[in-house]
Structure 1
Amino acid sequence: MGIFRSLKHYNYRLFFTGQAISLVGTWMQRVAVSWLVYQITESAFLLGLITFLSLIPSLVLAPYAGSYVDRHNKYKILMITQIILMLQAGALAVMIWFKVYDIFWIAALSLVQGLVNSFDVTARQSLMVNLVEDKEDLPNAIALNSSVFNAARLVGPALAGVILSTLGEDMCFLINFLSFIAVIVCLVMMKLKLQEHPKSRENIWIDLRKGYDYLKSSPDLASMIIMMAASSLLVIPFTTLLPVFAKDIFNGTATTFGWFESAAGFGAFFGAIYMATLKVNQNLQKIVMVSGILLAVSVVALAISPSLILALICTGLAALGLMAQTSSINTYLQTHADDLMRGRTLSYYIMAYQGVLPIGSLLMGYLAHQFGTQTVVAFEGLAGLLIVGAFIYNEKHRNEIKNNAVSLT
């Protein structure tokens, strides 16, 4: 079984299958929205704004969503969110079918997607541990889930590039709408035995504060989340500017943009495959450091790339580093957080990743508009190196304190 060992679990196999189909449609929609917005506005700032609206709810709602998910049935929450996301994709398809190219409604539907995703992602991540009976297979399940996400990122944009240039944006949205059927059918077929934790009678905001206090008392978990937040603010937003590289810097079309997204998917897919092959007790902190350096150096190289081919290679390497970094942090949090605090811990991770990212996208979109895309992307790469350096220093300092405490006892 090796790399696919977690697929022996029935519920996880269904989850994996549904995600594999649906995520292709999701990536097609992401590419179609980005290309549509840039075609309509030709504004890097508005491109960043749409990303901001689709992700900003995670910053505000993720901690609340974590407490909510810990108190309620994760499976039911996931079923409801998937249905709403299906309707959101359908609304986009209908709007573009009738040639309503209105940036306000595109922004409004992106905001709806962001609101629903705040609960969807938290519920999905928290449910993962219940889909795999043998907990030793959990890191493999997380890595495989990441690999299917990035395989879809490879296939989806490539298909989107072809469909955008032949059939139009509305077909991308329609395919995404239909792809949600696979997820819903697979969820219905699951045989889950969720352990019911007694619901807290305290105010949910007090419950949320407990999650913060838990992280405060767990510096290893907190440092991972802080690094994720810093990368989301200053490094990862380079992905938002890929349409600018495709259209303006390399004078391409929707197909060229599809190549950039597919290159990112290709690199991330290999990163996920690497993560899936790791043994149980692998040093995840080391992987976080090395992958962070790869991400930062590749982003700098992308900014100064003189040719399209080199830019695509750098995009792939950056995505590989990003995939390994985020997957390592995710796996570490899921395998080290207490069961009763897992939802809240993951909600802070989601807030740091998907919640801070829109602020970074908006900020980098604005700076790219003011100073030029290549200059800003080079800055993002240099910032990434500083972030990794700070993380390494913090880990070394924390280990020294821990070793001194052990020697004193």
Structure 2
Amino acid sequence: MQTEIPEVEIGGVKSTEQSKYGFKQTFAALKYRNYRLWFWGQMISLFGSWMQTTALAFFVFELTHSPAYLGYVGFAAGIPAWLFTFYSGVISDRYPRKKIIIITQVWMMFFAFLLAVLTFTKIIQPEMIIVISFLLGIGNAFDATPRHALVNELVEKEDLTNAIALNSTMFNTATAVSPAIAGIIYALLGPAWCFMINGISFLAVIVNLSRMSLEKRELNTERKSVLNEIKEGFLYLKQNKLLLSIVSVTSVLSLLGMSLVTLFPAWAVKILHGDSTTNGFLQSARGVGAVLFALIIASINKYIVRGKYLSISVVILPLMLMVFSFARTFAASVFMLVLIGGVIISMFNLSNGLIQTNVEEKFRGRILSFYTFSFFALFPIGSLWIGMLAEHFGTPTAIIINSLILLPFAIFVWLFNPKLRNAN
């Protein structure tokens, strides 16, 4: 006897529960050629980027033996976000985003090669790493906003949230695999090879961007002053309570939740008594969780109240951070980081999707610049803060303090922000 599969009507089109969460829905955005070029080019480049990120953090700790110095490097990388992110939003609305991204990718490729050469020749010093981190931060400040906004030009609107979720999947697939490989390469060949591989990997995204054929979008041709256009974006954000709530949530998350990753090298060495390979596996554990949760979001995003799941994730995160602070074995640390990575990426996926589907096109670049500012500008401050806490009170205590600050905010969001909780 066959069981009848119930039908569900979505947007006037009937589908079955079987196809509702099927393979095609999970990877719907990949049917677009331009998005496929973006996806695979970014995937290769991100493998290199995460190799460099993982190796550089451990290299800094190896040179200085200071958790606080890890915070200094993260803070230096974030200073350009304070200076240039809002300006990048205006540029993203005024000029072709593909060209902007190619320029920023070439910029960051140059400094990856420079880092490799300085390390190969043993000229590198901690102070040089701070300067190079600042210069790489300039590239990130101008790259992040058009990179988020470009996705809207690669797929149809009905597949936009799926594309955003797949972006997170590719990002975190690299996060899951690349740090572990970086840890092994670091142990066998040294950090310079991790930096060299990253420089080479930028070619994949540069070549694939060049191969894209995009429809010409309507650019913002009104040549007001940059400050006036930024002010217009702020006023628009202030008037749209939903978007303001989302940016506020991502800001606090970046400041107090994401900063945990800054302490991975210190956790690997001081708590788990490990080495660069241990550090790589901690980074990878977070990435594994993020990939799993990103794929789930990609499959179900059209059928859930996204604001509700975002609000729940905000409450769960500080509780998980608290539990992680008491982990003292490699297995327990990895298990908790899989869960933490999944919750964090769910929050960013849902936030990004809600912003992209609720913002007017003429403000897209500027509003996304506020969203990227919440990460690239506030995460480094969080890194500096938690690094200093760890230096004075120890790594586990620093994580406990952050989670205790984050928890009241999470409860407030759940209890007193029904607009966000019911958003879709």
TMscore range, shorter length: over 0.9
Which of 185, 199, 203 aligns to 1:163? It is 185
User: Is contact 2:271–2:328 with CA below 8 Å preserved after alignment?
Assistant: no
**CA offset at residue 101 of structure 1?**
2.8
List aligned pairs for 1:6-25, cutoff 5 A.
6-25=29-48
Q: Is 1:98 matched up with 2:124? A: no
List aligned pairs for 1:259-278, cutoff 5 A.
259-278=281-300
Unaligned 5+ segments in structure 2 are 1-23
Q: Is 1:43 matched up with 2:66? A: yes
Supply the distance in 2 between the matched residues of 1:3 and 1:278 (Cα, whole angstroms): 8
List aligned pairs for 1:153-192, cutoff 5 A.
153-192=175-214
Residues 114-158 of structure 1 show CA distances to partners (whole Å, capped at 9, x for unaligned) of 1111110111111110011x2101100000010000000011101
Unaligned 5+ segments in structure 1 are 403-409
**CA offset at residue 388 of structure 1?**
1.5
Letter in 1 for 2:101: L
1:80 aligned partner: 103
List aligned pairs for 1:103-142, cutoff 5 A.
103-132=126-155, 134-142=156-164
Q: 1:341 to 1:368 in 2, by over 3 A?
A: same
1:59 aligned partner: 82
Letter in 2 for 1:25: G
User: Is contact 2:268–2:278 with CA below 8 Å preserved after alignment?
Assistant: yes
**CA offset at residue 198 of structure 1?**
3.9
Supply the distance in 1 between the matched residues of 2:206 and 2:128 (Cα, whole angstroms): 26
TM-score, normalised on structure 1?
A: 0.95
2:215 aligned partner: 193
TM-score, normalised on structure 2?
A: 0.92
Q: 1:282 to 1:56 in 2, by over 3 A?
A: farther
Supply the distance in 2 between the matched residues of 1:274 and 1:131 (Cα, whole angstroms): 22
Which of 320, 324, 327 aligns to 1:298? It is 320
Which SS does the other structure have where 1:200 is aligned?
coil
Letter in 2 for 1:40: L
Supply the distance in 1 between the matched residues of 2:220 and 2:420 (Cα, whole angstroms): 35
Supply the distance in 1 between the matched residues of 2:135 and 2:421 (Cα, whole angstroms): 43
Supply the distance in 1 between the matched residues of 2:321 and 2:222 (Cα, whole angstroms): 45
Which SS does the other structure have where 1:197 is aligned?
coil
Which of 20, 41, 49 aligns to 1:26? It is 49
Q: Is 1:371 matched up with 2:369? A: no
User: Is contact 1:211–1:344 with CA below 8 Å preserved after alignment?
Assistant: yes
Supply the distance in 2 between the matched residues of 1:394 and 1:67 (Cα, whole angstroms): 33
Letter in 2 for 1:375: T
Size of the alignment, in residue pairs? Answer: 400
Which of 328, 335, 338 aligns to 1:316? It is 338
Q: Is 1:5 matched up with 2:28? A: yes
Range with bigger deviation, 290-299 or 118-127:
290-299
User: Is contact 1:296–1:318 with CA below 8 Å preserved after alignment?
Assistant: no
Letter in 1 for 2:390: A
**CA offset at residue 281 of structure 1?**
5.3
User: Is contact 2:320–2:340 with CA below 8 Å preserved after alignment?
Assistant: yes
Letter in 1 for 2:412: A
Residues 354-375 of structure 1 show CA distances to partners (whole Å, capped at 9, x for unaligned) of 2111111101111111111101
**CA offset at residue 201 of structure 1?**
1.8
User: Is contact 2:145–2:365 with CA below 8 Å preserved after alignment?
Assistant: yes
Supply the distance in 2 between the matched residues of 1:191 and 1:291 (Cα, whole angstroms): 38
**CA offset at residue 55 of structure 1?**
2.2
